[in-house]
Structure 1
Amino acid sequence: MAVMTWVIVAVTCAVSLALTFSGNENLAIAAGGVIPARVSGLIVMPPYLAVVPAWLTPLSATLVHAGPVHLGFNMLMLAQTGRLVERLLGPACVALIYLLGAYAAAAAQWALDPASMSPMVGASGAVSAVLGSYAMFFSRRKARAIGPIPGRVVDIAWIAGGWIVLNIVVALVSTAAGFPIAGAAHIGGFLLGMILAFPLLPRRRRPS
């Protein structure tokens, strides 16, 4: 049983739904979301919004969502991929991928526009990290070698490239529609998950 995955899902749902139905969602977004300009030190938050230190907002942001639909999609994706990755790597590694993925996602979004005042919330970046590891382990695509480039490297490049292109397109379309999605965060988290996948795999399970 994937205990860690279900613990993350349960805690995230409990906190996010409590904030939504208590009417404190907007306040939580401002206080707990990742605001690039705040991370850059360009703005100082008023005391009532500075309860969460800037360095901790990549984690607090995973507990705040823009409504039940946003929350449901993220948790469904985590439940589907996280439990399989956890069975392979164990609960501690899944927690590590999720936590580091949250920071990688925040770093990518910050790098896109360090002066942005728009708060980033949601667990999408952290979930994308788990998805990145999942893609490395369970992808059925088997690419052929290209010259001296091994097939496995080509396979990784296809997976990473496809995810990057998909999220760039989604980010552009969502921005044009007036509902911007943090595409850079998804990309940063996913790539981090790919990078961590095999180093965390127990040696006895590594392909020879």
Structure 2
Amino acid sequence: MVIRRYWAVCTIAMLCILCYVLEHIVHWQTLEIHRLAWRGIARDSIFSTSFFWSFAPVSTVLHTGPIHLALNLWCLATLGSYLERRDGGVAIICLWGVSAYIAMGAEAWIGGVGRIGLSAVTYAMLGAILLDWREASRSPRRAWTGGVMLVFLTLGGLELLGLPPVAPEVAHVAHAAGLITGLIFALAWNWKRQVGSSG
């Protein structure tokens, strides 16, 4: 059964869909509250606020529109399913939490659009998969998805360097932070698994 095999990916996907329904159909005002709270917090004090520590994971499941949601769910299914088969559901949940805090912290500290969405997590998944990209990219869908994400990240980096913005409302800082977090997380997770097997 798909849900049992990919329980972590399915859980995150269902949370994203649920929050989207609450936000855009039931008119739950979480996204707007998030924006207002973000604007009211000084950069040097955000890490000491309860808003940051309580809302970083929530920010990863909030989306501004159907295209934003659909693209992130596609990346989650494509990359997350591979990662969950490789490392297990617990690793996915841990990576979700770690990348949420680091990506939102990077957005706050370096400066960004004030929201991260699930793309920070999917970029973390891409970073974790880069360790065995040759194996992962045997799937055309995964290779194409990862390649487009890396191109988009490169365009975002050029934008941060002062070039004309390609997508000014995209959290490029969070994407980069997610990618780096995923790579480091995968290295640490593999080391933990090797230590456990050798012991």
TM range (shorter): 0.7 to 0.9
Structure 1 pair 162/63, CA: closer, same or farther in 2 (3 Å)? closer
Provide the C-alpha distance between the structure 2 equivalents of 1:84 and 1:56, rounded to a whole number of angstroms: 29
Matched, 1:181 2:176: no
In structure 1, the partner of 2:145 is: none
Q: Aligned-residue CA RMSD in angstroms?
A: 3.1
Q: Which residue of 2 aligns with 1:107?
A: 105
2:133 counterpart residue number: 138
Q: 2:87 aligns with which of 64, 86, 89?
A: 89
Q: Normalised by the size of structure 2, how large is the TM-score? A: 0.73
Higher helix share: 2
Structure 2 counterpart SS, 1:174: coil
Gaps spanning 5+ residues in structure 2: where? Answer: 137-149
- Structure 1 counterpart SS, 2:120: helix
Larger Rg: 1
Matched, 1:29 2:31: yes
1:147 paired residue number:
none
Q: How many residues align?
A: 171
Question: What CA deviation, in whole Å up to 9, does each residue of 1:2-34 have, x standing for no partner?
Answer: 21111111121112222111233xx32232357
SS in structure 2 of the partner of residue 35 of structure 1: helix
Output aligned runs, 1:121-132, within 5 Å.
Answer: 121-132=116-127
**Whole-Å separation in 1 of the counterparts to 2:94 and 2:42:** 22
Structure 2 counterparts to residues 1-208 of structure 1, below 5 A: 1-24=5-28, 27-32=29-34, 35=38, 38=41, 40=43, 53-113=51-111, 118-139=113-134, 165-169=154-158, 172-175=165-168, 180-201=169-190, 202-203=193-194
Question: Unaligned regions of 5+ residues in structure 1, if any?
Answer: 44-49, 142-160
Counterpart residue identity of residue 67, structure 2: V
How far apart are residue 166 of structure 1 and its match? 3.6
Contact 1:39 1:55 (C-alpha < 8 Å) held by counterparts: no
Q: TM-score, normalised by structure 1?
A: 0.70
The superposition leaves residues 103-152 of structure 1 with CA deviations (integer Å, 9 ceiling, x where unpaired) of 11112211223xx7x531411112211121122222469xxxxxxxxxxx
Q: Is the 8 A contact 1:63 1:123 kept in 2?
A: yes
Distance 1:173 1:4 in 2: 33
